[in-house]
Every structure is written in structure tokens, then in C-alpha cells.
Chains A and B, each alone.
Chain A
């Protein structure tokens, strides 16, 4: 419990640091938000009035404190280009991106675990060689290109889904998930390859250990030894990797959303970047950082559950 509290405090400290860095980065860029909102034709008086209203004349730290206070209350500021609260823009997009990530994560776990174990079990065999070679190639395919290939093969040639035919989850959860399955394959593919590779190596090094022999000596078959004894040990390095992979997948989903024309966080982020709509960019980046840090936090907890040797230290 003490460990948990310590980790939680660490999480908040890092989060605060992240938000400050992001805030700083956007505060030092040249260009005046008030001018950006009103346009260059606005009179200096109006700009000055708006600056005053937005609190831009306050010192940096005061502005940061105000921004954080608003952020905690769920007020992410006003978009320069759309003049609407950023919160409204983000809030219904977040589930889309989260669903994409969750589906991809499930795919990674349920495909690479059996695959990695099968490879290790029949190491040196034909199947193992095929999977290892395929892994190597799949790892080299960027997510957006596999997205394009999936669109081509499953969408245009096999008609399993309609490319661009995104259905909002607010309308129909079933069809939403059906559509999201394909982009999540694209996001998951390279990670599946990496996880399989890592797990295979991890299982192989575990099977040399003494406790495996003990497990056999009690009458376990190879399958039982691998799944009941080796897997949990072999997962320890994989958990760390999956944590990093998840963080990476946030970025991956932004790109893949674009391939499949999905209006998620990535879409707004990109339009805001091209419009230089800083409050939106800032808010999304802090949200994503929050997501990534929370994932890291959860990974730490899972790590503890898997490996009893690292407890309260």
C-alpha cells in the first residue's frame, strides 16, 4: 500500500512536470494568441483588451497556475480557430482513440502469447522459422502502410468493411467496433511481431531453468509446463515491453486514424497543428501524456502482480 501511494505521488509529480514543460514550450513560441484569435487587422486596443481578458499580461507562473487549475476542473481553454471550449472538442473523441488502443492491445495479447509460446515449443522447426521470418518483415512495416494494405485487401478486394465508412459509437456500438477492428489490426501488427519475438526468446531462456525440470518431475506435460509454469515467468520482461508499446501505440493510433478516416484525437491534433491552434494542441498533448503516464503506472502495478519478488522496497 505504501508502495502504491509512493508510485501515485510520483505519477502526479511527473504529470505536473509534463504539463509545465508543455506549457513552457507553448508560452515561449513567437506569436501572440490574442492576435491569432482576432486576426492581424484588429486594432491594438482590442488586442490589448483581449490580452487583459485572457490574462496574458500576468507572469508566466501565475498563468501556469491558472491553466492547471482550469485543467483540473476540466476546462481546457478556448480553441483559437473554432472559438469553442477545447473540452467539448476532445471529450467525445477520446473514447474513439481509447477503443482503438484497447482493441489493438487485446489483439497483441491474444495473438502474440500463443504465437510466442508455439515458436519456443517447436524451436528450430519449420513453423518456428516461418513465424520468425514473418516477424522480421512485419516489424519493418510502418503501421500506416499496413493500414493501407488492409484497406486494399480487406476493404476494396474482399469487401469485409467499407473504407471510410466509419460509424460513430454514439450511433451504433456494434458497427463501430466492427469498423475499428481493421485499424486496430494495423496498429497491433508491428507490436504483435515484436512481442512474439520477445516472448519466444524469454520462454526459451526460462525453459533452461531448474524449476521447469521440477515441473516435469511432477507429471506435467509440455503444454502444462509452458502455460502454467513458464508463461508467468516469461511474461515479466514482456510486461515492461508492452508498457512501452502502449505508449508508442498512442502515436501509432494517431497515424492509423488518419489512414482509416476515423475522427479521433489524432484528427483534431493534426488539424490543430496545421491551424496553429495551440490551446487544442496543448490540451491533447497533455491528455496523451496523462494517458501514457497512467499506463506506465498500471504497468508497474501489473509488474508487481506478476513478479512477487519486487514488492514494497
Chain B
């Protein structure tokens, strides 16, 4: 479903071109959960944004291919990309506080992808679907949340809202860019559970980006470890955890017990 081949990303807003991702390869099948791990600055978020088609096309040079069901996200027309975004590919981000538009009600934001991609649906159908999604992400009193503004919700609720908004068009791929980093530990576990449930019920493939290996271990089937913009190791969760080949991965694993509340931007 998703094939990233030889992806290279270079920044050009500095005088010296600075490469942030080198020779990145990734293959994902429908329904698979893949973890992308690395410390901050390892290029994992850049890669995620590139796959989501969210890198601005100006001050960045991109080489390689990101094939999503045969469409190259890097070179396809903008309109083609827009048709994929929000419909087949959805994203949730690290900071649920700032990722929701502060001046619009939750309902409108949850519905938005549906309004864009399913023009044929009536207003009432869209509304019902949004309420249903809010219930699916285990938010109590969906009606009230539908009418609320983002600042009236807690961080965990906002992230659930983000997930509801992302899942409303039943995407084939959900890119979760550090979705739990800004949340406290109990809420983290709930969100991970929720993502697992979504994967099991809807067969949505999830690309889970995190610096936290313990979360990745709970959620993912395969893991890709990045350091300094390069893939240093990849394989199934068992392989990586039982027999880490690279010193870097070993260090990351060794860090697990102590990294519960560390925030890395």
C-alpha cells in the first residue's frame, strides 16, 4: 500500500543545504502498524510529514518516491494530493492543544474531512457520522463535545477529538506523529489502546512515530529505528527488542524504564 523508496529531504532555507533525511525506505501493508523510532532531530517527524504530503514545496528539495497505492505523493498534482489527504491518509499530531482551530466548535472540525471528501452527504448525515465518531473514540456525552470549543476540553479529550476527526473518512493510513508525547502516562495508555482498537476494527494501517520504545512495543508489529536522518535498524518488534544489533538501539531500549515523562519536541 505504502512504498517509500530512497527518500532524501534537504532544507534550503539556510545557506548550506542541510540534509535531514537520507535514503529512507519503508514498506507498509494494509492494516499493519509500523513504529518509527528515534530521538528528536533524527528526521522521523520530517519523514512523517513528507508521507502525509504536508511539507511545503518551496524551501525543501526532495528526492526519491513516496508511493501511496501507486500515486507519488512528492510529484503528483496538488489536487490529487488533496484528494488523498484527509480521505485515504489522515494525520494526528503531537500537540492536541494547538492542532485544533481555537475559534471553531469541535463538531465542525471533526466533520471537516467529510465535508470536503463526501460532498454527496447531507448535513444531518454528516452530523450523525461525527457524533458516532466521537462515541467511537470513547468520548462520553458526544452531543456536548460536538458543541464545545477546543479550550473547554482536556488534553486527552482533544487528542481523542483529533483521532475522531482523522478517522471520519475511514482512511487506509493513519500517521500518528508523537500523539501521546504531550499527554500524561495514564492518558497515553488509553490513547494507545484506542489506536489498537481502531486498527483491529477498521483495519487501518498506522505509522506510529515516537521516541518512546515502550509505547512502540505495546502497539506495533514492525519497528524502524532512525538516527541522524538514516535508518539504522528495522525489523519485527521481537527481533529489535530481543536482539538489537546497533548500539544506538540498545541505548534506546536501555533507556525505557526511565523515559516515562520525558518530553522531547
Q: Which residues of A contact B (CB under 8 A)?
A: 209-211, 213-221, 224, 229, 232-233, 236, 306-309
Residues of B within 8 A of A209 (CB): 98
Nearest chain B CB to A230's CB is how many angstroms away? 9
Residues of B within 8 A of A221 (CB): 78, 82
Residues of A within 8 A of B112 (CB): 215, 218, 220
Does B86 lie within 8 Å of A217, measured CB to CB?
yes
Residues of B143-185 at the interface with A, using a CB-CB cut-off of 8 Å, are 149, 151, 162, 165-166
Residues of B within 8 A of A210 (CB): 93, 95, 98-99
Within the complex, which residue of B54, B83, B149 is in contact with A217, where a contact is CB–CB below 8 Å?
Answer: B54
Does B116 lie within 8 Å of A218, measured CB to CB?
yes
Tell whether A217 pairs with B98 under 8 Å between CB atoms, given A233-B103, A309-B151: no
Complex Cα spacing A224 to B79, Å: 13
A-B contact pairs, 16 of them (CB 8 A): A210-B95, A211-B98, A214-B93, A214-B100, A215-B112, A217-B85, A218-B116, A219-B83, A220-B86, A221-B78, A224-B116, A307-B103, A308-B102, A308-B105, A308-B149, A309-B149
Residues of A within 8 A of B162 (CB): 214
B91 at the interface (CB under 8 A from A): yes
Within the complex, which residue of B54, B98, B100, B151 is in contact with A216, where a contact is CB–CB below 8 Å?
Answer: B54
Does A216 lie within 8 Å of B85, measured CB to CB?
yes
Interface of A is mostly: helix
Does B101 lie within 8 Å of A211, measured CB to CB?
yes
Residues of B227-263 at the interface with A, using a CB-CB cut-off of 8 Å, are none
Nearest chain B CB to A223's CB is how many angstroms away? 11
Residues of A within 8 A of B83 (CB): 219
Complex Cα spacing A76 to B102, Å: 47
B139 at the interface (CB under 8 A from A): no
Residues of A within 8 A of B104 (CB): 229, 232
Nearest chain A CB to B255's CB is how many angstroms away? 27
Nearest chain B CB to A21's CB is how many angstroms away? 38
Within the complex, which residue of B99, B149, B165 is in contact with A213, where a contact is CB–CB below 8 Å?
Answer: B99
By Cβ-Cβ distance, the 9 closest A-B pairs, closest first, are A219-B86, A218-B86, A210-B98, A219-B85, A217-B91, A218-B113, A308-B149, A211-B101, A210-B99
B33 at the interface (CB under 8 A from A): no
Complex Cα spacing A33 to B83, Å: 77
Complex Cα spacing A215 to B162, Å: 11
B90 at the interface (CB under 8 A from A): yes
Complex Cα spacing A233 to B95, Å: 18
B66 at the interface (CB under 8 A from A): no
Residues of B within 8 A of A307 (CB): 102-103
Does B116 lie within 8 Å of A213, measured CB to CB?
no
Nearest chain A CB to B163's CB is how many angstroms away? 12
B129 at the interface (CB under 8 A from A): no
Complex Cα spacing A215 to B98, Å: 12
B212 at the interface (CB under 8 A from A): no
Nearest chain A CB to B51's CB is how many angstroms away? 11
Does A308 lie within 8 Å of B103, measured CB to CB?
yes
Does B82 lie within 8 Å of A214, measured CB to CB?
no
Complex Cα spacing A307 to B101, Å: 11
Residues of B118-150 at the interface with A, using a CB-CB cut-off of 8 Å, are 149
Residues of B within 8 A of A217 (CB): 52, 54, 85-86, 90-91, 166
Complex Cα spacing A276 to B44, Å: 76
